[in-house]
Amino acid sequence: MNTSKPLHLRTSRDDHRIAALAALAIAIHLIEAALPSPIPGVKPGLANVITLVVLFMYGWRDAAWVSLLRVFAGSLLVGSFLTPTFVLSLAGACSSLAILGLAWHMNPLLQRLGLKQGLGPVGLSVLGACAHMTGQIITARLLIIPHDGLFHLLPLLITAAVLFGIVSGIITQLILIQLRPNQ
Amino acid sequence: MRKPSPLAIILIICLITGLISACSRSDNRTEKLHQSQLLALGTLIDISLWDVEDTLASQAIHDIDTRLHELHHDWHSWQAGRLHDINTALAQGQAIELDDVELALLQQAQQLAAQSQQLFNPAIGRLISLWGFHSDNPEGPPPEAHAIQKLLTQQPRMSDLIFSNHTLRSNNNTVQLDVGAFAKGYAIDQAIAILQNQGINNAIVNAGGDLRAIGRHGQRPWRIGIRHPQQAGIIAALEIQGNESVFTSGNYERFYQYKGQRYHHIIDPRSGYPGSNTLSVTVIHANAATADAAATALLIAGPQHWRDIARQMGIDQAMLIDQQLTVYMTPAMAQRVQLKQNLKSIIEET
Amino acid sequence: MNKTSIVTRADIIIISIAILILPWLYLHFWGDGSQGEIARIQVANQTPRLIPLHRSQRYPIDGPLGTSIIEVQNGRIRFIESPCRNKLCIHSGWLQRDAEFAACLPNLISITIAGRNPRFDSINF
C-alpha cells in the first residue's frame, strides 16, 4: 500500500513566538470588537501594539503577516468576513502596513540625516494609526458611503488616531524594553 | 537589508494609487463648469456647460439666445406674432399655411392633448384670456359664471385641428391656441438641440426653474434640487444624466388675488375654473415639451386621477403635492428622488 | 550608550507635524465660522454679485420692474421689499443653507446661497 510520508514542518522558536503574538493580536481584536465605540470605526487599536512589536523584533514582513492574519482570522471569528467591516479593516491594515514599510525603510536615511535613533515605536505608531484611519475613510467613501459628508468626521478620527497612536507607541516601547533588555 | 518583498511593493502601489485618486477627484470641479445667464421667454435662463471651450460656449449661447427670442415672439400667447396670425385665421374659419417647425410643434401639442384626455388643452386661449391671464399683470375680477359656461359649451379642443400637408384649419372657430403650457418645454428642447448640433453633450438648460439636462457633470451625474413649493429650502434631491427633463407646475406661479380669493393661471378645461386640489406637480421625462405639458395636465387631474393621466402620457416618474403638503409619488419617482424634509408621502402603484 | 528613551527625536518631529496638521483639518472640514457663506444675487443677465452673509446689511437691487430690497442678517438673507405684484419672493422667507433659493421673477432678480461645495448643479422650482 502506498502511504505518502507525513509532512514534517520544521518550526523554529521564532515561528512559535510569532504565532503566539498573532494569536494574542487576534484575541485583543476580538475583545475590542466587543467594545462599543462612540464614533463608528474608532477603536483603541491596541492590537496594533502587537504589530509594532513584531515589526521591531522580526521585521516588516512578519509584521505584515501578523497584521493580515489578525484581520482575516479576526473577521472569520467575529463573523464579518467579506462584509463591509472586513473591507474597511483590511483597507486600514494595508494602508498602515504600507506606511510602516515606507517609514521603516527610511530609518537608515533618517539616521544619516542626524536623527540618531530614526523613528521609534511612538512615531511609527502615530504614522501607522493615521494611515490606518485615512485608508479606512477613503475606502468607506469610495465603496460604502458615496457622500462627501463622510469627510466631516475626518478631524475627529485623525485626532483619535494620533492620541491612540501615541498611547500604543508608548506601550510598544515599554514591551520592547522588557523583551530586548540589551537594546 | 532584505530585498523588499513583493507584498510590500503591492501594498505601496495600492496606497499611492489610492492617494492619487483621492486627490485627483477634486479636479472634477467647477473649473470645467461654464455657467451663464440669459434673459428670454420672459424669465431667467441658466445654462450650464461642462468642459466646453470658451469661444464655442459663447457662440452656442448666443445662438440659443437668438432662437429663444424668436420662439418667444412667434408663439407669444397674446402679442402680435405668428401665433396671433394663426389664431386670427382659425377664428375666421380660414386655412393657414404652416412651416415645418410650426407644424411639428402643433402636431406634438395635439398628440399630447389627446394623451392627457384633453386636460392639457392649448385650444382654450379664449378661456385663459377671459380670466385675464393674457396680460403681463393679470388682475381680477374673475369672469362671470355665464361667460365661462358659454365658452365651455363650444368645447374648443386640439382635436378640432385638421392638418393636411402644411395647411391647418379648424372646424371649431372658438379654438384659440395658447401654447403657454408647453412652450417653455418646447423652447428648452430647441436650446438643447442647438447645443448638441455644436457638439456639446454635457449641459443643463434651466428656464425659470424648469430644466433639461444632457450628459453628466464630468465623472458624476448632474445633481438637481427641487425647491419646496412654498419655502426657500429644498424638498427633494435627485441625480440625472443622459437626457432628462425636470419640470414643475405650481398653482403659485401666476395668479391674482381678488376679494381674498386666489385665482391661478392653470385653468381646468372641464370646469372652466383654475384647478383646485393640487399645489404642484413635478415630472421627469426625456422630452421637455412632454414634461411641461404633463406637469400641467397632472396638476389639473389632481390627487384622484393623476396616475391614470400619467400612464396615458407615458410618464412614469412624477410627484404631486396637494394643498395639505402630502407628497404623492410614482414608485419610479420614489426610487429616484430623495425627500429632504419630513413630509407625509404616499407611493402610488400604477 | 544612553538608556533607551521612550521617544526618539524623529518621533517628536512626527508627533509635532501631526499636531500641527490637526487644526488645519478642523478648519477645512468643519468650516470657518467667520467667513460664513455667500449669497449670489443674479439680476437679469448681468454678472452675478456676491454678497457675504456675515455682515448685517440691506441692499437695494435694481431690476427691470423697480428696486427690490434684500436684507442680510445673522448669516441669512431674504427679500424684504419688491415691486412685484404677488410678493412670492418675500414669502420665501430667510435663506441660509447652501442651494436655498428665492427669486423675484417679474423683477428678474434671484438669490442663491452658494456654499463652498455646492450641493446642486441646478434647482427645479
**Residue whose C-alpha is closest to residue B318's, from B243, B241, B238, B253:** B238
**Residue whose C-alpha is closest to residue B299's, from B265, B343, B257:** B265
Q: What percent of chain A shows pLDDT beyond 70? A: 91
| Domain presence at residue A7 | no
- All partners of chain A with 3 or more CB pairs under 8 angstroms: B, C
B39/C122 touch (CB, cutoff 8 Å), yes or no: no
CA separation for the pair C101, C99 (Å, rounded):
6
pLDDT in tens, B173-188: 999 999 999 999 999 9
What is the predicted pLDDT for the residue at B316?
94
Indicate if the pLDDT at residue B20 is higher than 70.
Answer: no
pLDDT band at A183 (very low <50, low <70, confident <90, very high): low
| Domain presence at residue A8 | no
Q: Which domains does chain B have, with CATH numbers?
A: 32-51+201-347 (3.10.520.10)
A155/C4 touch (CB, cutoff 8 Å), yes or no: no
Strands C38-43 and B345-347, sheet pairing:
unpaired
A120/C26 touch (CB, cutoff 8 Å), yes or no: no
* Residue bearing cell 468643519: C30
pLDDT beneath 70, residues of chain C? 1-4, 30-36, 115-117
Contact B289, B108 (CB under 8 A): yes
Q: What percent of chain B shows pLDDT beyond 70? A: 91
Please compute the mean of the pLDDT values over residues A133-151 and round it to a whole number: 80
What is the predicted pLDDT for the residue at C1?
39
pLDDT band at B18 (very low <50, low <70, confident <90, very high): low
pLDDT in tens, A79-130: 888 888 888 889 989 999 999 999 888 888 888 877 777 888 999 999 999 9
What is the predicted pLDDT for the residue at A33?
76
How is C55-95 classified by DSSP, letter by letter? Answer: S-EEEEEEETTEEEEEEEETTEEEEEE-SSSS-HHHHT--B
| Domain presence at residue A6 | no
Contact B123, B175 (CB under 8 A): yes
> How far, CA to CA in Å, does A157 sit from each of A34, A130, A136?
20, 9, 10
What is the predicted pLDDT for the residue at B104?
93
| Domain presence at residue A18 | yes
DSSP B274: B
pLDDT in tens, B111-157: 999 999 999 999 999 999 999 999 988 988 999 999 999 999 999 99
Contacts of B18 in chain A (CB under 8 A): 95, 135, 138
| Domain presence at residue A2 | no
B316/B342: higher pLDDT: B316
B322/C55: higher pLDDT: B322
What is the predicted pLDDT for the residue at B1?
44
**Residue whose C-alpha is closest to residue B321's, from B274, B278, B276:** B278
Residue A150, exposed/middle/buried by CB under 10 A (0-12, 13-18, 19+)?
middle
- Total domain count for chain A? 1
| Domain presence at residue A54 | yes
Strands C57-63 and C66-73, sheet pairing:
antiparallel
| Domain presence at residue A26 | yes
CATH superfamily entry for domain C38-114: N-utilization substance G protein NusG, insert domain (2.60.320.10)
Q: For residue A30, give its domain range.
A: 14-35+42-179
B197 phi and psi, to 5 degrees?
A: -60, -25
CATH of residue A80: 1.10.1760
> How far, CA to CA in Å, does A160 sit from each of A155, C26, C109?
9, 13, 47
The contact set of B with A (CB < 8 A) is 1-2, 4-5, 7-8, 11-12, 14-15, 18, 22
Indicate if the pLDDT at residue A155 is higher than 60.
Answer: yes
**B328: which strand partners?**
B320, B346
Of C18, C25, C26, the CB nearest to A126: C18
Contact C76, C94 (CB under 8 A): yes
Contact A150, A139 (CB under 8 A): no
| Domain presence at residue A175 | yes
ipTM confidence score: 0.86
What is the predicted pLDDT for the residue at B22?
52
Per-domain boundaries in chain C: 38-114
pTM over 0.80: no
pLDDT band at B199 (very low <50, low <70, confident <90, very high): very high
pLDDT band at A149 (very low <50, low <70, confident <90, very high): low
Of A94, A99, A138, the CB nearest to B22: A138
